[in-house]
Structure 1
């Protein structure tokens, strides 16, 4: 297990230079936006515009804060993604244009290299118990909570993460009955 504190996340410019990304975790460690196998990040989006293109990458986007973002994927009709929406998976190597109908947002972005990894992103709330499926499960807290695995307990504050590897069972105890969090499963192909 690896505890990831929001205060330690790495900040960097977007690949297309249009904003800033906060990198939560990347594999292999030390890889760049050009050669990662998987990457989990957040971004503050303040303006309409195109997404960066990532050849051979699949991506899932979720809204963490704000009133939503409309995405036109591969010249399709725009889809409105809000905080209440399910995470939206789509290929990162097709043109995507984003518009902000009601102000800036912050998003959660999960990307995997299609040839080596696949991922699933789920939003949950309240108490939860499960097993770390796939190779890695990341718990990302949207509100304070505690994650227990066997004899270990980890306290997560807002936007902290916990990487759980190799099929460990875990229990999430929420501070409030509706405390929300994301479960991100990363599986090597």
Structure 2
């Protein structure tokens, strides 16, 4: 089990100046990745970077909604509702409710498949985090066992064969990355 602390992640500015991204994890080689998890701060409307050959899942995690235009089709994406689209698509966004943060999972088509689920935490039923999964605390308070370490907002638990368990109150994003 590992914990990636959000507070320790370095912010990298976007090329278009519309926000910053913090890379949570990437693999198999972080420098030349086939999948990546990141948390972005979106400060202003604008075009999204293209990721040819990739599939993307975006989830608003702080703020209310983002209005996406994907290949000419408009779509309102609300908080805690994952939205999948092609990295090949011509994509832009407006921010009708202001600046926000989003959680991104990008996977190389044909090599990996990504899935995102948002669930409500329970103190009575701990949620296991299996190998190939990453669990991000979106809201509330939680601990991860067996070490009973406290998680801060946007901290990420790295799943393993030992399946650490998260319990508490709030909401959790579980990102699964599987070989295609």
TM-score (norm 1): 0.84
Aligned counterpart, 2:136: 140
Distance 1:105 1:73, change over 3 A: same
Alignment of 1:36-185 (within 5 A): 36-76=33-73, 78-84=74-80, 86-127=81-122, 128-132=125-129, 135-142=131-138, 143-148=140-145, 151-166=146-161, 168-174=162-168, 176=169, 179-185=170-176
Tell me the secondary structure at the aligned position of residue 144 of structure 1: strand
Gaps of 5+ in 1: none
User: RMSD value over aligned CA atoms?
Assistant: 1.9
Aligned counterpart, 2:26: 26
Tell me the secondary structure at the aligned position of residue 165 of structure 1: coil
Kept in 2: contact 1:4–1:24 (CA 8 A): yes
Tell me the secondary structure at the aligned position of residue 110 of structure 2: coil
Kept in 2: contact 1:129–1:169 (CA 8 A): no
TM-superposed deviation, 1:161: 0.6
State the alpha-carbon separation in 2 of the partners of residues 7 and 46 from structure 1: 19
- How many residue pairs get aligned? The number is 177
Gaps of 5+ in 2: none
